[in-house]
Amino acid sequence: MFSDILQRVVEEAGGGIGAVLMGYDGIAIDQFFQPGDEIDLQMVVVEYSNVLKEIRKTAEILSLGEMEEISILTDRFIIVIRTLCDDYFFALLLNRDGNFGKGRYLMTREGANLIEALD
């Protein structure tokens, strides 16, 4: 179920490489990657999960509201991380020239389906 949703986001985004559904504990629930891509998104997101926890905590301390999304741009990739609930988030990896806006839209649209499937 999760893999189908992740696959839909990756394939429809334009320039999508992979997506992973993960808990803030760093344990992946499910993932989908385009064949042949070499980057390990799961490892990338595990490393960023600690940073995400700190950002969430900082937003709470400063009364800024709930963190919803983080975007990371490198010279090779765009990584979009979207919060689903207190325990889970999902990440999308795009080529640097991928469709960032469409990827964000799809993550928002499909986030509700992932939350429903988690229940």
Strand partners, 78: 73, 94
What is the edge-to-edge ordering of all strands in the sheet holding 28-33?
A: 28-33, 16-23, 88-95, 77-83, 69-73
Mean pLDDT, range 3-18, rounded to an integer = 94
Q: Are 2 and 15 within 8 A, CB to CB? A: no
- Grouping H, G, I as helix, E, B as strand and the rest as coil, residue 91 is strand
pLDDT value, residue 119: 81
With a pLDDT cut of 70, the percent of the chain lying above it is: 98
Residue 13's CB is within 10 A of a number of other CB atoms, namely: 26
Average pLDDT over residues 82-88: 91
* The total number of residues written for the chain in this structure: 119
Boundaries of domain holding 94: 2-118
> What values do phi and psi take at 81, rounded to 5?
-120, 125
Whether this prediction's pTM lies above 0.75 is answered by yes
Residue type, 86: D
Q: Which of 45-49, 100-104, 111-115 has the lowest mean pLDDT?
A: 45-49
Higher pLDDT, 44 or 101: 101
3-state secondary structure of 45: helix
Confidence at residue 37, expressed as pLDDT on a 0 to 100 scale: 61
**CATH classification of the domain holding 90:** 3.30.450.30
Task: State the DSSP code for 85.
Answer: S
The per-residue pLDDT of the chain, averaged, comes to 89
- Average pLDDT of span 19-37: 87
Evaluate if residue 38 carries a pLDDT over 70: no
- How many domains are there within the chain? 1
